Amino acid sequence: MPHLTTRSGLEIELTDIRPAHFRIEDIAYALAGERRYAANAPLRFNVAHHSVIVSLLCPPALALAGLLHDAAEMLTGDIPKPVKGLIASAALEHLVGQIDAAIAERFGVDPKQLKSPIVKIADRKAWRWEQVSMYGPDILLHDERLRESQWDTFDDQAVARVPLVASDLESEYMFLQRFRAIVDRDKKQNELDASPFAS
Judged against a pLDDT cut of 80, whether residue 152 lies above it is answered with no
Q: Any idea which of 77-86, 125-134, 171-180 has the lowest mean pLDDT?
A: 77-86
Into how many domains does the chain fold?
Answer: 1
Torsion, CA 86, CA 120, CA 98, CA 53, rounded to 10: 100
Does 198 score more than 70 pLDDT?
Answer: no
CA distance 114 to 70: 8
Confidence at 142, pLDDT banded by 50, 70, 90: confident
pTM listed for this prediction: 0.88
Report how far residue 71's alpha carbon sits from residue 90's, in angstroms, rounded to the nearest whole number.
19
Residue 199: helix, strand or coil by DSSP? coil
User: Is residue 82 in some structural domain?
Assistant: yes
To the nearest whole number, what is the mean pLDDT of the chain? 87
Query: What backbone phi and psi angles, to 5 degrees, belong to 43?
Result: -110, 140
Residue 187 lies in a domain: yes
Is residue 145 predicted with pLDDT exceeding 90? Answer: no
List, in order, residues 6 or more apart from 108 with CB less than 8 Å away.
64
Instruction: Provide the CATH number for the domain around residue 125.
Output: 1.10.3210.10
CA dihedral over 50, 52, 58, 63, signed as positive or negative: positive
Q: pLDDT of 62-109, one tens digit each?
A: 999 999 999 999 999 998 888 877 776 888 888 999 999 999 999 999
Question: Please, what is the end-to-end C-alpha distance for the chain in angstroms?
Answer: 54
Report the share of the chain in percent with pLDDT over 90. 57
Does 151 have pLDDT greater than 60? Answer: no
Closest CA to 72 of 22, 113, 108: 22
Q: What is the DSSP string of 147-188?
A: G-GGGGGS-GGGGGGS-SS--HHHHHHHHHHHHHHHHHHHHH
SS3 assignment, position 3: strand
Is residue 147 included in any domain, yes or no?
yes
66 is in which domain, residue-wise?
3-194
Does residue 74 sit in helix, strand or coil? Answer: helix
Whether 25 is in a domain gets the answer: yes
Express each pLDDT in 8-31 by its tens digit: 999 999 889 999 999 999 999 999
Give the residue ranges of DSSP H helices in 33-167: 47-57, 63-68, 73-76, 81-87, 90-106, 117-135, 139-142
Residue 199 maps to a domain: no
